Amino acid sequence: MTRRRWLVDGVEGTRAWLTGEHAAHLARVLRARVGQEFDLATGQVVFVGHVVSVKEDRVEFELGNPVSAFSLPEVTLVVAIFKFDRFEWAIEKATELGVARIMPVIAARTEKHLAAAAEKRVERWRRIAVQATEQSRRAGPPKIAAPCKVDEGLVLLAATRILLAESKTRLLLTQALLSHSTGSALALAVGPEGGWTAGEIQSFHRAGWISASLGPTILRAETAAIAGLSVVMAELQ
């Protein structure tokens, strides 16, 4: 039987622990018992953990042997902020797909009220990523940066930087990935509803990004993000 996986809230030496909602769910809902085994993700390594103490606000474990974990390519998703329900769905699915970092950006066509409220949503986005990390059995969650302006995302350091643009771009994403060096970092940028402005696209190009397309149809922002990441992760693994 597959052991349930948890992303620990703290670790020191051979001890790890869950606190807050994590601990409460494990103690009250799952009725954890001393001696039970779970997989514990520490951010880099996954261990078998044995429950040694159960309280509603804290569950402690003794760390055992490491568990073999899969490696993921270094992929950053630069994504313009769009409607929060869809944006949060994209964060969840991007995490499941294995993205290493998510950089929310405020684009010219990002709705003003969303841009103003985005900073207060970051902790919620990180919680969503933690839950998706546990569900997808990753060793650690993606880093989710605080929202920034597009110009800050342009200078992201990555060997390959690809801007998803409208279907008039003739270069397909699969073709753009052919020149990517195995093992190096990659960044993928996805625009807001309505797409990037012409000025933004020019700025990306001046900064060394290349434009690529997912095909002739026009996709919603969240669809483009997940479809693009799916192609990238399939090609790089």
pLDDT digits (tens, 9 = 90+) for 181-208: 888 899 999 999 999 999 999 999 999 9
* Alpha helix positions (H), the chain: 20-24, 84-97, 112-117, 122-136, 150-154, 173-176, 198-206, 221-236
Judged against a pLDDT cut of 80, whether residue 157 lies above it is answered with: no
Print the domain residue range for 168: 75-236
| Tens digit of each residue's pLDDT (9 = 90 or more) over 61-115 | 999 988 876 778 899 999 999 999 999 999 999 999 999 999 999 999 999 999 9
Q: pLDDT value at position 29? A: 86
Domain end residue (candidates: 46, 67, 88): 67
Same domain, 63 and 120: no
Residue 199: predicted pLDDT: 94
Q: Are residues 61 and 84 in the same domain?
A: no
pTM metric for this prediction:
0.83
H/E element, 144: strand 143-144
In angstroms, rounded to a whole number, what is the distance separating the alpha carbons of residues 3 and 39? 6
Select from 67, 87, 121 the last residue of a domain: 67
Chain mean position to CA 70: 16
The pLDDT score that the predictor gives to residue 1 is 56
Considering the domain architecture, whether residues 122 and 170 belong to the same structural domain is answered as yes
Q: State the Cα angle at 178 between 175 and 183, rounded to 5°.
A: 140
- Tally of domains within the chain: 2
Instruction: Let me know whether 134 and 222 are in one domain.
Output: yes
152 and 176 together in one domain: yes
Number of H helices, E strands in the chain: 8, 13
CB 87 within 8 A of CB 93: no
pLDDT confidence tier of residue 169, bands split at 50, 70 and 90: low
CATH number at 199 reads 3.40.1280.10
Residue 168, pLDDT score? 64
